[in-house]
Structure 1
Amino acid sequence: MADKNEWGSNLSFILAMIGSAVGLGNIWRYPYVLYSNGGGAFYIPYIVAIILMGIPFLILEYGVGYDFKSSFPKAIRKIHSNWEFLGWLLPVAVFMIMIYYSAILGWDGIYMILSFTKGWGANPDAFFATTLLQSSESISGLFHFIPLIAVAMLAGWVIIWFISHRDLEEGLGKVSKVLVPALFVIMVVIVGISLTLPGASIGLAELFNPDWSLLGHFEIWMAAFGQIVFSLSLGMSIAFTYASYTGEDADLITNTISIALANSLFENFAALGVFSILGYMSLQSGTAVADLVTQGTGLVFVVYPTVFNVLGQWAYVLGPLFFLTVYLAGLTSILSTIEPLSFSIQNKFGHSRSKTMTILIIFGAVVSMIYATSYGGSVLGYVDTFINQIALLLGIILECIIFAWIFNAEKLIGFLNARSKTIKLGKWWLVIVKFILPIFIAVVWIGGMIDVINNSTSDQLIFTVIVAAILLISTVIFTVLPAKSPDWDDVEERL
């Protein structure tokens, strides 16, 4: 039977997109961003960012993806043949994210098992950096392999392959219907327990204490728009690809609003749990919440285990639940990051979904072993900074220009409005996608470039150049290789 790239229902599409949006960033990035950017005051730029950028850009991606019903590079080539390069740049960059996400997934898998016995010991900081990662600041650490991490990562790759190589609805569609609701249910349980902990109110008071004076600072608005870019996976060609799998009667505007609301609900709910637990730790240790707050791996693999160490019997419930939540969030996100490149390869070279997924996953698993070395944590940080602050933001700017101007987003309005049961698009939407979005994201991109240049070590600059070269060379190869699919140039717009 031929591989099918089509959702079995609108529910599959919505849940898969929510799964893509709800990821590690909601749990370990958003609570810190909310806290460090004015607490309750942050909600004003946050809501503005969702309305002005998150929803309008997703509608644009969905609309064009639905219109072409093809892979991202095939559609870009149809819009303007000279831009096919960009059509491959974003899917390749997103696949590179998938490769290093597999390392974080592996770390969390190890902690999920350790959480049943608090196996990280009395000093979680030392355990994570020294015992588990065996971190080295020397590039020679690339030659020090860590088998435990490698095995944990490979287990994740096997799970990803088991789901992804099947027909879309049989694999990703069915799994999303289980994982995404489970993710929300487990988070509700975690937050419910967290809110009952002594000192929870201390953490929540710190989190929501509004600093209205920050609203006059440009940085808080940058933080809000940046959070929405990464939280909703804007411009990563994932939304475009998922929309190309949808049925004829999809209400894309209503779907967009549902996905944005679900993502926002999850990350704000996660923030309640994070700060309730930090408040408990503050009460127990006498340390101010401000001194406990961190983001990224430090929050998940150091602060949380430290809390679980002093939590008593509840830790044996809350610990496994928490690390399971992180694992599921990582899994739902990572499953979406392979789709754009896989579908693009299927489109251009005529391979089946099963064969393409298998090859990509084997390749990704082999390359990911660089993160199973003592220098892997440093490399992960370098690659993450380059992809998210430089490559993807540049891609979003160019995507805005191509979709809104060259393709002419205005012709999407009629068919999107005809299917919408909620809001209707108008000139206001065109102003946002043609002017406001590309200008603002360009400002964020310039800020990210300056930050990388000013704060990078010599090692980071070297790896940034290497990663950029790999990304560009890979993109060129996919662009210039001759198509083997007979209908590569036969893209017909349906509007």
Structure 2
Amino acid sequence: MEQRPQAVPAQREAWSGRTVFILAAIGSAVGLGNIWRFPYIAYENGGGAFIVPYLIALLSAGIPLLFLDYAIGHKFRGSPPLAFRRLSRPAEALGWWQVGICFVIAVYYAVIIAWAARYAIFSFSEAWGDDPASFFASDFLQQDGESTFGLDFVPGVVIPLLLVWIGVIAILAFGVQKGIGSVTKYFVPLLIVLFAILVVRALFLDGAGQGLDAFFTPNWSALTDSGVWIAAYGQIFFSLSVAFGIMITYSSYLGRRTNLTGSGLVVAFSNSSFEILAGIGVFAVLGYMAQATGVPVAEVVESGIGLAFIAFPAIISAMPGGPVFGVAFFGALVFAGFTSLISIVQVVVAAVQEKSGLSRGAAVLTVGGSAAVLSLLLFPTATGLNVLDIVDNFANNIGIVGVALVALVTVGLILRRLSDLQEHLNQVSSFKVGIAWRVFVGVITPVVLAYMLIDQIVQRIGDGYGGLPTGLVVTFGWGVQALVVIAAIVLTFLPWRGSVDELPAETDSKGNA
């Protein structure tokens, strides 16, 4: 039976326009991984040749998945649990699974932003001295290599972490447009300008050409390695913020007649452009470091936390005008991370608000307060780095990949709703999708995700993780992911406040019915 529309709930918010949505979506997609993960992944997987599988992955998986998230959020006008429930009642658990993953990521992601904020201050005096690795682990984080888990707090991390959470809660309390929209409208352009300045400065460093040669020189034989292709799909998948609720939530605040696929193309190509820009900047700087120390670029290449908090401080100490470069670099990390964190927490806030009927302020305080307490309890401690490493790896490689695979199989093969979602996209968008989109979303991407998930599970069961204690890996790796799934099932059976099964009436870009 066809559903009858009802009036839009008073608490349902909306973006003021498509531009604000695009900036918010770019702010979510462009995060820490764009700066410290992509350059290393590209370098390790064929250099310039990696661009081929990267672009194919973008076109065959990244953009199609982004379109799918937009279609679900926009058509069913809700957070992931509500949107999936309106798609099919039993599918609500998928939405809560996505919400749970977002909550877990938010709890540790804020900590890295706090580190970056402290390092921006450290840059003024180059406080790390001659041994950035020892400073980071021992002096700054005060890590206890012998302890499995402990609650010995590190004040130098607690204070900036608390400030990060106060900022996030304050912004979210102002709402979708006045809070998130207003912040991203300034933060995203500022991030792009700041990072562009960093790249230009890096290009004029001695040895920059050596670094760029290492980054762009193609190793065409790498294209015959299946691992390179999986790395490309993995990078696209993780960097676009797809399949774990963010883009479903953000698109649900769009006006009914918004061009979805056109917006998706802008977001996807902007994100990839920033990644390539980050690769140029990072490897120009690494080339300078290689020349200054008289070693090959391969010996100074780092990824992730090692690149940001160990390799780059060493470079900052060696380069002319290092403190200014350091403040700009870590400031860029803070901006990139903060806009992503806001989008992650908003997923949880929207879901809790819609399920419980709480006001926005109450939902923000409940979610933000809970996440802040866990974040402050677990990570600014003498064992926090190991815990963070485990939770991050399992959340991304097991949690997100797992929920994405189950969601695609459910929507495409079990419920067979891809045609409906394709029709919705084509009704409002300038760029039309067809059978190729359904094949990408319903066949190709699930196969790739299944391979990635099985590979990760086999590795984690067989080898553990990073030589860390088994108890720690079981508790914060497998245990946390199992808890998320159990919580998703329990939340599905809790009652909703008010009517949820009827779609709201159409709204304009300002949320007016």
Instruction: Give the structure-2-normalised TM-score.
Output: 0.93
2: CA distance between counterparts of 1:259 and 1:269?
15
- 1:53-72 matches, within 5 Å, as 53-72=61-80
Task: Please say if 1:14 is aligned against 2:27.
Answer: no
Residue 229 of structure 1 deviates from its aligned partner by 0.7
Residue 9 of structure 1 deviates from its aligned partner by 0.8
Find the partner of 1:448 among 438, 445, 456. 456
Deviates more, 1:444-453 or 1:254-263: 444-453
Deviates more, 1:456-465 or 1:109-118: 456-465
Aligned equivalent of 2:495? 482
Task: Please say if 1:330 is aligned against 2:342.
Answer: no
Aligned equivalent of 1:124? 132
Aligned equivalent of 2:510? none
Contact 1:41-1:212 within 8 A present in 2 as well: yes
Task: Please say if 1:353 is aligned against 2:360.
Answer: yes
Contact 1:135-1:375 within 8 A present in 2 as well: yes
| Paired letter, 1:353 | R
**Distance verdict in 2 for CA 1:112–1:3, change over 3 Å:** farther
2: CA distance between counterparts of 1:6 and 1:56?
24
Find the partner of 2:417 among 408, 414, 418. 408
Aligned equivalent of 2:279? 271
Task: Please say if 1:394 is aligned against 2:407.
Answer: no
| Paired letter, 1:329 | A
Residue 81 of structure 1 deviates from its aligned partner by 2.1
Residue 218 of structure 1 deviates from its aligned partner by 0.2
2: CA distance between counterparts of 1:152 and 1:172?
21
Q: Secondary structure at the match of 1:142?
A: coil
Q: Count residues in correspondence.
A: 491
| Paired letter, 1:212 | W
Find the partner of 1:219 among 215, 219, 227. 227
| Paired letter, 2:422 | I
Residue 119 of structure 1 deviates from its aligned partner by 1.3
Aligned equivalent of 1:464? 477
**Distance verdict in 2 for CA 1:342–1:407, change over 3 Å:** farther
Aligned equivalent of 2:265? 257
1: CA distance between counterparts of 2:12 and 2:429?
27
Task: Please say if 1:148 is aligned against 2:122.
Answer: no
- 1:58-457 matches, within 5 Å, as 58-139=66-147, 141-312=149-320, 314-369=321-376, 370-405=378-413, 406=415, 408-421=417-430, 423-456=431-464, 457=468
**Distance verdict in 2 for CA 1:166–1:407, change over 3 Å:** farther
Deviates more, 1:460-469 or 1:237-246: 460-469
Q: Deviations 1:315-343 (Å, cap 9, x if unpaired)? A: 12211000000000000110110122211
2: CA distance between counterparts of 1:3 and 1:114?
43
1: CA distance between counterparts of 2:478 and 2:17?
43
Contact 1:39-1:210 within 8 A present in 2 as well: yes
Deviates more, 1:260-269 or 1:140-149: 140-149
Residue 492 of structure 1 deviates from its aligned partner by 6.5
Contact 1:4-1:167 within 8 A present in 2 as well: no
1: CA distance between counterparts of 2:494 and 2:188?
38
Deviates more, 1:22-31 or 1:284-293: 284-293
Structure 2: state its 5+ residue gaps: 1-8, 507-513
Contact 2:75-2:424 within 8 A present in 1 as well: no
Residue 426 of structure 1 deviates from its aligned partner by 1.1
Deviates more, 1:385-394 or 1:216-225: 385-394
Q: Secondary structure at the match of 2:379?
A: helix
Residue 430 of structure 1 deviates from its aligned partner by 1.2
2: CA distance between counterparts of 1:117 and 1:2?
51
1: CA distance between counterparts of 2:12 and 2:499?
17
Contact 2:76-2:86 within 8 A present in 1 as well: no
2: CA distance between counterparts of 1:354 and 1:168?
12
1: CA distance between counterparts of 2:148 and 2:194?
41
Deviates more, 1:471-480 or 1:361-370: 471-480
Identity within the alignment, %: 36
Contact 2:194-2:328 within 8 A present in 1 as well: yes
Deviates more, 1:204-213 or 1:405-414: 405-414
Q: Deviations 1:111-139 (Å, cap 9, x if unpaired)? A: 01111111111211110011011112334
Residue 2 of structure 1 deviates from its aligned partner by 6.1
**Distance verdict in 2 for CA 1:36–1:78, change over 3 Å:** same
Find the partner of 1:34 among 1, 18, 42. 42
Aligned equivalent of 2:511? none
Contact 2:353-2:363 within 8 A present in 1 as well: yes
Q: Deviations 1:26-83 (Å, cap 9, x if unpaired)? A: 0010000010000000011000000000111111110111100112112222333223
2: CA distance between counterparts of 1:364 and 1:400?
28
Contact 2:154-2:380 within 8 A present in 1 as well: yes
Residue 431 of structure 1 deviates from its aligned partner by 1.2
Residue 407 of structure 1 deviates from its aligned partner by 5.2
2: CA distance between counterparts of 1:479 and 1:341?
14
Q: Secondary structure at the match of 2:126?
A: coil
Q: Deviations 1:151-202 (Å, cap 9, x if unpaired)? A: 1100100111111111210000011110011110001100000000011001
Structure 1: state its 5+ residue gaps: none
| Paired letter, 1:480 | F
Contact 2:106-2:341 within 8 A present in 1 as well: yes
2: CA distance between counterparts of 1:411 and 1:242?
20
Q: Secondary structure at the match of 1:189?
A: helix
